[in-house]
Structure 1
Amino acid sequence: MKLVIDRLEWLVELMGGLARWCVLALVLLVAVNVLLRYLFSIGPVALQELEWHLVSPIALLGLAYSMKHRADVRVDFLYDRFGRRGQAAVDIVAALLTLAIGFIITWLSIPYVTQSFQLLEGSPDPGGLPYRYLLKAFIPLGFALLVLQGIADTLRSLMVFADRPIVPSHTAGKLVEEGAS
């Protein structure tokens, strides 16, 4: 089961890396746009649109990545009081809800992206970017990654619930330190 979890999270990690590169590209692009606008009074529509186009992969690919690294918002004031199996039960429910929501949004977004592709949708603005359907394709991709992370979290929590924990690679040091104290 550890192999399955590792493979699923490898893909999530890979796509999270792409999201991080998009953040860097966005920062650089905003800097260029500001310089062009204030030093040369130029504001290309395509570059402005590219700014918000980069937000899509950042948010949608970063969603599963943040779940993998436990950077999501959690309310732990009750969770911390539960025993290990109680926490695993809460994690199972949360992971199954993540799975369900991710699957539903993935399923519902596919016709939306397909229609955009069939229309070869582009920007309605003069000088805007073509291929808007590629941008919209991040919706099912991002939520499919969330489903994969939900599967990995469910499997990991089931292992903890069965007293056969698999330590996530990103928290291994933390758990060892906590166990040592």
Structure 2
Amino acid sequence: MLQLAEKLDRINRAVGATVRWLALAMVLVQFGTVVLRYVYGISFIFMNETVLYLHATLFMLAAGYTLLVDGHVRVDIFYGLLGSRGKARIDIFGALCFLIPSTAMIGWFSWPSVRNSWSIMEGAISVGGIPASFLLKSLIPAFCVLLIIQGLACIMRDIARLREEKPAA
């Protein structure tokens, strides 16, 4: 089970290693936009949309990696006080009752919009912008798939932790 979890982890590790470079690209494009606007008085809508596309891609595709490295915000009262087994139980419950169902619903209900966007090759958000809104909308199912993959890997790891640890006597 741990071997399968590690294989699933590799997917989000690879995605995380790739999309982290989008943060640098986003900063550079935004810097260029600001310099062009305030130094030269030139503004390009496609540059503003490029920052939006990079930002959306970075955050949507890195969500699974963030779960992998336990970087998501936790709102808990008792979690920090629990031992390894208690934390594993809460994590399994959270993944099975909240993470996977909500992510699956987001994917399910967003799919018609994504499909329609691809069928018409939906264009730019603004006149003069990037003519690829269909790509931006495609991030939603990708986000869902990557989060579900990582959620399953976390569940497998937590189940393995529960099986190998003996309860305190």
Per the normalisation by structure 1, the TM-score is 0.85
Query: Which structure 1 segments of 5+ residues have no match?
Result: 165-181
Match of 1:105 in 2: 106
2:51 is matched with which residue?
51
SS of the residue 1:31 aligns to: helix
2:140 aligns with 139
TM-score of the superposed pair, with normalisation by structure 2: 0.91
Match of 2:161 in 1: 160
Aligned position for 1:171: none
Q: How big is the alpha-carbon RMSD for the aligned residues of Structure 1 and Structure 2?
A: 1.6
Matched, 1:90 2:90: yes
* 2:123 partner amino acid: G
Structure 1 CA distance, aligned partners of 2:125 and 2:95?
Answer: 39
Q: Which moved more, 1:29-38 or 1:75-84?
A: 75-84
Per-residue CA deviation, residues 110-147 of structure 1 (Å, 9 max, x unaligned), is 21111011111111533111121011101100111000
Q: How does 1:27-38 map to 2 (within 5 A)?
A: 27-38=27-38
Counterpart for residue 14 of structure 2: 14
Which residue in 1 is equivalent to 2:5?
5
- Aligned partners of 2:87, 2:77: CA distance in 1, in Å? 12
Higher relative contact order (CA 8 A, sep 6+): 2
SS of residue paired to 1:128: coil
Taking only the aligned residue pairs, the percentage that are identical comes to 32
| SS of equivalent to 1:74 | coil
Q: Quick check: 1:116 aligned with 2:113?
A: no
- In structure 1, the residue corresponding to 2:63 is in which secondary structure? helix
1:150 pairs with 2:151: yes
Which residue matches 1:177?
A: none
